[in-house]
Amino acid sequence: MIKRHISKIKSGLKNLSKALIVAGGLMIPLLTKTAQTQEPVRQNIESGENSVERNRNLLRENEYIVSRDVMRLYAQTVDPRTFGMVSGGFFEHDYLDTRSERRTFSDSLRARGYSNEEIRNFREMFKNKNIVFSESILDSPEFVPVLRHERMHKYISELPAEEQNTLNEAVDFIISDYNQKQPLWIDEEMRLEREYHERFRDRFNYEAYSQVQDKVDSLIRIYSPILHYDSRDQSFRVQTIRDNPKELLPYLMIGGIGSGIESVIENRFPQSARIYNRLKERIENETRDQQ
């Protein structure tokens, strides 16, 4: 069950990566968890209309809000298997890359009563290095992390090629380190899960399930990939990053993955670290007042 569950989610993420994972922190549940564990108190205070207004004020040129309906239509056009809530993304280019996708998107907007001009506007919005959010996230505490994540995508894409290459050296190193080390625990992980399933069949046993997870976590600690996860919540993100390495730095910047990664980059790739820190600082400054 563990495996099946993970691979189902994994394939969902993979399919989305054509547009939306490249684009962003779309899987709201993943971000919600971090935000909740990190800042439970602030969240309660910040909810409500004030935070909507404050969040709206954070938006800059080329950053847009659409209704959740439009966002979902877009995501489902790009990948009909899209599931979960879509929070937004960075649209480096037009991901509706076939005529039939473009027609499907326009037709479904028309069916909802949007005018031709509005449809043209939406089509322009979801490309041109724009960032688009669903209104559904505007009143949520994960708006700022999602905004930071998407801006990191955007600012990286705007760097000169040379600086992008420098960043990629660090990213490639971390991904290949993970790929080399993963086989060292994956067999054992599968064996533990098989054992669990043989024992419990269709019943879910929380205690035994947690024990399997703890053992896998300790194996991962022993083989210590740089791209590790501190908790099971983060394992999906690790998958997302493996499937699309462009997600590494945007997740790193919002504290969405293993805490030791930044210091590895500092120590091994000081030039990459300088670029990353410069972007991170810029984004934090832009969004700090609203936190």
Binding-site size for Zn ion (CB under 5 A) equals: 3
Q: Which is nearer to Zn ion, 150 or 189 (CB)?
A: 150
d(CA 70, CA 75): 9
Position among 12, 24, 141, 258 found at the interface with Zn ion (CB under 5 A): 24
CB of 185 to Zn ion, least distance (A): 26
Regarding 145 and contact with Zn ion (CB under 5 A), the answer is: no
- Tokens for 268, please give them: 């091994």
Regarding 250 and contact with Zn ion (CB under 5 A), the answer is: yes
Q: Which is nearer to Zn ion, 91 or 185 (CB)?
A: 91
Range in contact with Zn ion (rule: CB under 5 A) among 22-30, 95-103, 209-217, 266-274: 22-30
CB of 23 to Zn ion, least distance (A): 6
**In 10 A of CB 16, how many CB atoms?**
27
Regarding 88 and contact with Zn ion (CB under 5 A), the answer is: no
Range in contact with Zn ion (rule: CB under 5 A) among 59-67, 68-76, 124-132, 240-248: 240-248
Range in contact with Zn ion (rule: CB under 5 A) among 23-31, 57-65, 252-260, 268-276: 23-31
Range in contact with Zn ion (rule: CB under 5 A) among 102-110, 184-192, 215-223, 247-255: 247-255
d(CA 252, CA 260): 10
- 88, amino acid identity: G
CB of 202 to Zn ion, least distance (A): 36
> For residue 290, which of 36, 35, 51 has the smallest C-alpha distance?
51
- Tokens for 273, please give them: 């670290």
CB of 149 to Zn ion, least distance (A): 5
- Tokens for 185, please give them: 């625990």
Buried b (16+ CB within 10 A) or exposed e, 62-96: ebbbbebebbbbbbbbbbeebebbbbbbbbbeebb
CB of 25 to Zn ion, least distance (A): 5
Quote the DSSP letter at residue 86.
Answer: B
CB of 75 to Zn ion, least distance (A): 14
CB of 10 to Zn ion, least distance (A): 16
Q: Which is nearer to Zn ion, 24 or 145 (CB)?
A: 24
Q: Which is nearer to Zn ion, 88 or 225 (CB)?
A: 88
CB of 196 to Zn ion, least distance (A): 32
Residue with tokens 């024990």: 211
d(CA 261, CA 276): 12
Residue with tokens 């709206």: 56
Q: Which H helix or E strand runs over 270? A: helix 270-288
Q: Which is nearer to Zn ion, 22 or 220 (CB)?
A: 22
Report which residue's Cβ sits closest to Zn ion.
24
Quick one: how far is CA 192 from the chain centroid?
29
Residues in CB range of 169: below 8 A, 6 or more apart: 269, 272
Q: Which is nearer to Zn ion, 141 or 250 (CB)?
A: 250
Question: 187: helix, coil or strand?
Answer: helix
Binding site for Zn ion (CB under 5 A): 24, 247, 250
